[in-house]
Every structure is written in structure tokens, then in C-alpha cells.
Structure 1
Amino acid sequence: MKISIALCTYNGAQFLQEQLESIAFQTRVPDEMIVCDDLSKDNTLEILKDFASKVSFPVTIYINEKNLGSTKNFEKAIGLCTGDIIFLSDQDDVWNPEKVEKIENQFSTSPSTALIFTDAELVDENLKPLGYSQWQSNGFNQKEQDYFIHGKFIEVLLKRNVVTGSTMAFRSEFKKLIFPIPDAWVHDGWIALLIAFASDLNLISEPLIKYRQHHLQQVGAGDEGLTIYQKIHRKLTQLKNLESDYSNFQPECIRYTLAYKHLVNSRFPSIKTNKIPLLKARASHYCIRSHLPVNRTKRIPLIIKELLNMNYHHYSEGISSIGGDLLRNNSEIK
């Protein structure tokens, strides 16, 4: 099968060379690399052009006419890939030498699998191991992993995204399903969720990339590396704020409503139509939470209904979410 790598860059010169070298030294090199640069102002392009002139596989570099942002830049890069399997690559990680080979082998032995993702070793900006993996950091535990293995990946993904783009590869035929990617979504969460509603997802529990943590990142790795004091302080702050991400409820409502409408209107042949009501329920749950009455007493019937429907269990954090919705200050209700 033909392997494509979709790499997106933006002012990535500080760490890019190590990532490129890790791709060049794969035991199974790609058949093509598509690079979309989002108008870098450093010497990212010089590094890319030098790399392209030295490797055995074709590297095509596209420079955007305007800044697209991460999600739309990945959409562009994915759309330009011509391979059977598309790997997504960030500009600041380092791939283990056997990453492509191991993922390709799993696709070969499992024709029904449409998307595969792996764990990642968390490292600092100098590639020094932090002593724990990404899955440990974000709480993707053995129970949830078993859900994936036994085909219950939709249930996991409707609660939260556990699939990171830089560890992901998927079959290119699903481009028709995932495009266009809405601006409201991060590309990896959208891709994983939609493909889950049309085919099978699988995982490799081995960390196959070094996932670099540094001050330039937009997304961190969680609180696994914090001291006990720092963890307690964070939890107390969250309790004080009563789910400080409450302002995200309306965006969550919008995001999952978009996903629901996208699947309902899609003509992709293998969509699991019997599962789509779960997506609608997920969207509805956050729409309800984002519009709870200012009066706490009037919230109770709505909260009880969501509780009895198991929506707090399936789509939120259970009791802690219920407590937050009951006790939140009136000024926080929008």
C-alpha cells in the first residue's frame, strides 16, 4: 500500500529538523510527503527544501497564500495526499524508527480497520523523557482501551477525544467522509469521531512517537507531571470555579451539533445510522447544560432528567458535573 505523510508547519525551525530526520530513518519510509506551510517567518522553508533534496522519497512543499490555522492547514495537506494510508505529522515531535512499519502492518492484517492511533512518550523540549506516556497523562486507562479493542470506541469518543493527530493514521478513502472539517473542531478529534461512525478504529498501546512538551505548544499533556501539591491546588481551583470550563459548554453544543448534521447529510456508504442518535444525545446534553436557568431550583428538573437518561455518565464527568451544574454561581449561567 502507498503511504503518505501530511506534515503541517508554521515557524517550526527550532524542532523541525529532528522530526524530519526521524521520518527519513523509518524502517518503512513513506512513498510521499506532503508539506503545507502556513506562512512561516523563520527558516522553516529552508529546512524543508534541504530535506526534500536529500531523501529518497518525494517531498512536495506547498506555501499557503494566507494563514489557514492548524485545522484547515491539515485539511489541505490531507486533501493533497495520494496514498492509501495517510499519517499526520506535527513539526516538533520525533517518530520511533518502526512507527510507520508497525502501523502499516496492522492495517494489512486488519482490512476492516480504518484508523489506528498509538500512545506517545512525553518528553521535554530537549527530548528528555518525563517518565510517563500521553495515555497516562490524559487518563486513557485500561478500561477505555478495552472498550476500543472490543469495538466500543464511539462510546469513548463521545465522552472525550483520546486520539492525537500526531499518533494517527487512517485510510484515505475516508477523506470523502471527513471533509470539510469545521473551524469549530480540532482536526484530530473530528477525524477520529467521524470515522468511528463509519468503520472500525484500533490502537497500538506502544508509544511510537516522542511527544515534545514545550512552551510553544497550544495543547499540553495534562497534570501527570505535576507535584502532589500542584495537583491538589489545581483540583481546589477547579472546585472553586465549579468546572471552570463551563464557558466551553456552548462550543461543545455547537461542535457536536455540527458533527451530527454532517453525518445525517453525508452520503458516505458505511455510516452506522443506528449510532447517530448517540451523537445527537451528546450534543443535546451540552446544549442543555449551556442553557440551565439562573435560578438553581429551576435547574433541578433538567439535571434530574439528564441524570436519569445517563447523560452525565455517558457524556460528562458524572457526579462532579452534576454538582457543578447545581452549585454554579448565577453569573456563570449563560
Structure 2
Amino acid sequence: MNRSVIPEVAILLCTYNGQQYLSAQLDSVASQAYPHWFMWVSDDGSQDDTLSILAEYRSKWPNECLSIVHGPRKGFVANFLSLSCLPDIQADYYAFCDQDDIWEANKLQKAVDWLQTVPADVPALYCSRTRLVDADNHGIGFSPLFEKPPIFANALTQNVASGNTMVFNHAARLLLLEAGKNVDVVAHDWWLYMLVSGCGGKVFYDADPSLRYRQHEANVVGVDLSWSGLWFQFRKLWRGHFREGNGRHIRALRVLHARLAPENLETLNRFAIARDRWLIPRLVGLKQSGVYRQRLSGNLSLIAAAILKKI
């Protein structure tokens, strides 16, 4: 796609029974300093007032800038992938949007400013840290600060790119289209992080929060840094969720192996081989693959997973 004189952003919002916080999110989008956007919403079968709220905003927003479609009703990952692959949506840039956050006014402007520094034919992904708030929008902290490079060797074992912060260019969107809406992956945002970093693209992680990430009881995915949250993650690892997810990602990436940069294909192959070997070769192979997580605790858990053959 040729870059417009004034780049347009397609905001991709997925909803499901989101009436409680949806209006606040839509208002924050409408208050963006960067005004050149339009929104597509995929609703996954809401039974509350979500569709009525969307219809109200569609009628009051100008220039028919809000379109609504029905999702596949297979969960949030399938909903986002389905919307991302909808051929009717064409833009210079694309932004994932959750139904219950609050965007800072400069969110899109910061993302577009960085994306415009990248050639249009190079896949590019902007993401950021988030400000955590409770159900009533009171600040309760920040998501972890990541300081190591957001590259493929990190993306294979960790997602630092929270989907609700993601804005990406059309070259990155083409990778999603090539992979298809039915690809079997753990999360749409983790998948895009792997695709862009793996296929010679650029990923920028902004340490300055771009939105208020609401933490509440109905969160499908949230940020839990408590001891109970860490224990929950360990239980998932012990039960094989991490290993199973890695297997799904390896299989999905194999389909696009011709698009992976040579060094990233080597990383993928080394990682895939190491995870199925016996203990010592498994640990050596993990080291040789170069995969890593952002923090010491994460790397220690990665080693523990390798020892337990849960990788």
C-alpha cells in the first residue's frame, strides 16, 4: 500500500459483553490528538448493551467512521485475527484496541511518529508500557519495564508487546494476512510480535505508557504481579501450558519459514530441536539458540522449564 499524504489509522476493536467500560474507551479514542483514524469493531456475540452503545457512537461520530461486523464466536484470539484479516479494511497503520482500557490522548500520535521513520515496505510494530488502573480508573502501578531488545530471540519465549498498545504498519498487516485468520496461536499480539521480529521487521517498545490498562474481575488477560499471580503462572508451566504453546508457535512459524530472516530461522530450529532432547543437550541447546526473557526472574523460570522439560 502506498503511504498516504496524511496516514490513516484503522482501529481494530473487539468486543464481548463490554457495556461497563466501553463508552470510556470510545471517548478516549475520540479524544486522540491524532485525528486521522477510523474504527472497525468485531463483536463476538454480546448479550448486554454493547451493540446498542456501538450503534449510538456510530450515529454521533462523523463521516461514518465506525463500522461493525460480527465475530467468529471462538474467543478473543480468533476475533482479533478475523478482524485483522478482513479484506475490506485498508489503511496505512492499524491499532489493536480492547474494550475496557482508556487511551492517553497522544497514543496514536506517538505511534505514527515512530512508524513514519520506518520504510513502508519494512514490517514495523509500535508497542508500549502501560499504566495499570483499577476498575474505577485509579492508578495502581505500571506494567513491567522491559529494557532488553524486543527481537525474535525474545519473542519466542515471551511477549513484551501488549496488544492493547500495538500500532503497526501495512507491511506488518500483510504478514498477518499471509499467516491467515485460522492460525493456531496462543495470542494475537504475541503472534504479531513473533511475525514482525522474525521476518526482518522493526519493533519499538516505548517505555512511556500509552494507555490506562484497566484491571478488573472480568479481564480475560491482565497483569498480575502478586505472589498468587506468579504461583498461577508456575502452575500453568507445570501443567504443560508453556510447552504446548511453544509447540503451536513453532508449527505456525514453520509455515512462514521462507519469510523468516536466516538468523531467526536458525534460532527457531535450534530452539525446536533443544526442547525435545534429554537434559544436558536440552540446556546446551537452549543456550545456543540465544532465546531469552527480559528479566532475571524470567530467565531463571526459563531454565527451570528446560530442566523440567516443560519448554
TM-score (norm 2): 0.83
Shift of 1:168: 0.3
Supply the distance in 1 between the matched residues of 2:251 and 2:76 (Cα, whole angstroms).
19
Shift of 1:177: 1.7
**Number of equivalenced pairs:** 290
Specify the structure having the higher radius of gyration (Cα): 1
Shift of 1:312: 8.9
Supply the distance in 1 between the matched residues of 2:137 and 2:211 (Cα, whole angstroms).
11
Return closer, same or farther for 1:303/1:21 CA change in 2, 3 Å cut-off. Answer: same
1:277 aligns with 2:287: no
Supply the distance in 1 between the matched residues of 2:268 and 2:209 (Cα, whole angstroms).
30
Match of 1:82 among 73, 78, 90: 90
Shift of 1:109: 2.6
Supply the distance in 2 between the matched residues of 1:318 and 1:155 (Cα, whole angstroms).
12
Q: Deviations over 1:188-235 (max 9, x none)?
A: 000110111121111221101000000001222131xx4xxxx3x777
Match of 1:14 among 20, 32, 38: 20
Shift of 1:321: 5.2
Supply the distance in 2 between the matched residues of 1:238 and 1:27 (Cα, whole angstroms).
38
* Conserved 8 A contact 2:274-2:281: no
1:306 aligns with 2:282: yes
Q: RMSD of the alignment, in Å?
A: 2.7
1:167 alignment partner in structure 2:
165
Q: How does 1:160-199 map to 2 (within 5 A)?
A: 160-178=158-176, 179-181=179-181, 182-198=183-199, 199=201
* Conserved 8 A contact 2:17-2:48: yes
Return closer, same or farther for 1:16/1:238 CA change in 2, 3 Å cut-off. Answer: closer
2:56 alignment partner in structure 1:
50
SS in 1 for 2:216: coil
* Conserved 8 A contact 1:84-1:171: yes
1:37 alignment partner in structure 2:
43
SS in 2 for 1:281: helix
Return closer, same or farther for 1:200/1:311 CA change in 2, 3 Å cut-off. Answer: same
1:218 aligns with 2:220: yes
Name whichever structure is richer in helix by fraction.
Answer: 1
* Conserved 8 A contact 2:282-2:306: no
AA of the residue aligned to 1:83: A
Return closer, same or farther for 1:128/1:287 CA change in 2, 3 Å cut-off. Answer: farther
Supply the distance in 1 between the matched residues of 2:143 and 2:193 (Cα, whole angstroms).
17
Supply the distance in 2 between the matched residues of 1:215 and 1:24 (Cα, whole angstroms).
26
Structure 2 portions without partners, runs of 5+: 1-6
Supply the distance in 1 between the matched residues of 2:156 and 2:83 (Cα, whole angstroms).
26
Return closer, same or farther for 1:30/1:68 CA change in 2, 3 Å cut-off. Answer: farther
1:155 alignment partner in structure 2:
153
* Conserved 8 A contact 1:249-1:286: no
When structure 1 is superposed on structure 2, of 111-120 and 279-288 the one drifting more is 279-288
Shift of 1:258: 1.6
* Conserved 8 A contact 1:123-1:211: yes
